[in-house]
Amino acid sequence: MATGQLFSKTTQALFYNYKQLPIQRMLDFDFLCGRETPSVAGIINPGAEGFQKLFFGQEEIAIPVHSTIEAACAAHPTADVFINFASFRSAASSSMSALKQPTIKVVAIIAEGVPEADSKQLIAYARSNNKVVIGPATVGGIQAGAFKIGDTAGTIDNIIQCKLYRPGSVGFVSKSGGMSNELYNTIARVTDGIYEGIAIGGDVFPGSTLSDHVLRFNNIPQVKMMVVLGELGGRDEYSLVEALKQGKINKPVVAWVSGTCARLFKSEVQFGHAGAKSGGEMESAQAKNQALKDAGAVVPSSYEAFESAIKETFDKLAQDGKIAPVKEVTPPQIPEDLNTAIKSGKVRAPTHVISTISDDRGEEPCYAGVPMSSIVEQGFGVGDVISLLWFKRSLPRYCSRFIEICIMLCADHGPCVSGAHNTIVTARAGKDLVSSLVSGLLTIGPRFGGAIDDAARYFKDAYDRNLTPYEFVEGMKKKGIRVPGIGHRIKRGDNRDKRVELLQRYARENFPSVKYMEYAVQVETYTLSKANNLVLNVDGAIGSLFLDLLAGSGMFTKQEIDEIVEIGYLNGLFVLARSIGLIGHTFDQKRLKQPLYRHPWEDVLYTK
């Protein structure tokens, strides 16, 4: 066990198992104390490497992340404190690994519930190798104005109130981390503050004892008096009693053992800590308080009188000239995080993204204001979800059903079309699902599947301008533009596309109006008079019928309809639908374990 000061203003630590808040609190404390270097040298996250961005005052810094304890210690040989935020399941093994590193002198174990057998092994190894273990079940420790472990002393506001940004004259040790915060405040009110404070932890077998730290404080010249807060259970306080009796401590000790209320209960009571359970009269708070008092410690009559006892002891030392007045300093202002400042209304900042279709804040996500639970409970289908996310409103059921029919009919059109072919070739090249899907989607355009928007756009313009089919088709011909939605490589006037017939039948039976579709049929009649393959194809059918859906539902203004067509909503329907088939082709090729595709040379015309 070390016999003097553990920490200084240059102490650096390695932090095991990354936790953003405790590390940031350490760095904020560093800045408050005027440290030149951050107290966290490196972070250890098993299996991960890289950097973590955090703030050191106003400056953003990158702290190295290492995958092993050994690598971190090798990279940061001056870091001699190991702060272990591992769970109770792995805290012992990682702590032992740290203790075995020659550069590590102090290990703080935050986790509660570390097996007692493991704790005993850690204690034995640390004592035999002159190292210090703080914990398990500890919040850590602090040297005022120099260094702190993790969440010790809580928030910056509490640290400032307790004057922990500069050293005082009091050494403090406690079993309880929560009560440490209370005592830091008490001590700051009636003395010049803490020099060093340690919470040894509430487990039955702490890595270091109350007396270990009091003896250490006794050897630190800047510590003029000690304050000890024990608790019922165990016999740790008696080692302090023996040290006092043997004259090993020559500075005033003000002590109190909490848990005197235990005698009010008829049966044995387990308090908050694993070690806070009286196992007999000697382990009672009353017996320990009396023993400490008999050994020469200042022990008040109650916890309420603890503050007065601390004040009287400090005032006497000051009167005797043993404590020089501490020069007060004004700590720097810790820059406030933007999120915190925004929440408190201190600043306003522009947003970088606008979303009107969904909201993932609150208890559950919402689509266009409709909670996810309502979507499920009301039996919404895929078409209803598309209506919420694409059109920002809940469309009538016949509309959402039409959307679903379009998706089903356009999901796939066999392996020979360009999109499916690209996906198949990519999948056979051993590429992943996303790459195979995207290679197929990239073929969608004016020549393949991308004509729905154009068909809707041209049909709408012609109908709204009262053009006859003849005027429309011949006008397009003069401009050198093929009529989108008309023409098929396979289908003919005497062999219509079954998908088109299904869509038209559904619309006639369910839509209030099919004026745009009927206009498209009239255009088809004219084009068939010119060539038997100039039939209304599925792009033209969906494009014209979607115009009827938007106009006939009464839920969209003319401006909204124009915007929907212009943005490309309708092609989005084909992209969504065809993704289903392209994914299927990817899985099919991988399931069949098809080899790399090579196009047959006999299918290529080689020419000069």
Annotated catalytic sites, by residue?
273
CA 411 to chain centre: 36
Instruction: Map 42-57 to HEC letters.
Output: EEECCCCCEEEEEEEC
- Is 309 in contact with 298 (CB distance < 8 Å)? yes
Which tokens hold the place of 163?
Answer: 């004057």
- Is 417 in contact with 489 (CB distance < 8 Å)? no
Positive/negative CA dihedral, 343, 344, 347, 348: positive
Question: If we measure between CA atoms, which residue out of 136, 205, 141, 137 comes closest to residue 173?
Answer: 141
What single DSSP character describes residue 59? E
Judged by DSSP in three states, 60 sits in strand
Separation CA 555–CA 563 (nearest Å) = 14
What value does the CA radius of gyration of the chain take, rounded to a whole number of Å? 38
- Is 172 in contact with 214 (CB distance < 8 Å)? no
Separation CA 453–CA 574 (nearest Å) = 10
Judged by DSSP in three states, 103 sits in coil
Separation CA 324–CA 331 (nearest Å) = 21
Instruction: Map 381-410 to HEC letters.
Output: CHHHHHHHHHHCCCCCHHHHHHHHHHHHHH
Separation CA 321–CA 316 (nearest Å) = 9
Write the CA distances from 378 to 370, 373, 392, 555, integer angstroms: 11, 8, 17, 21
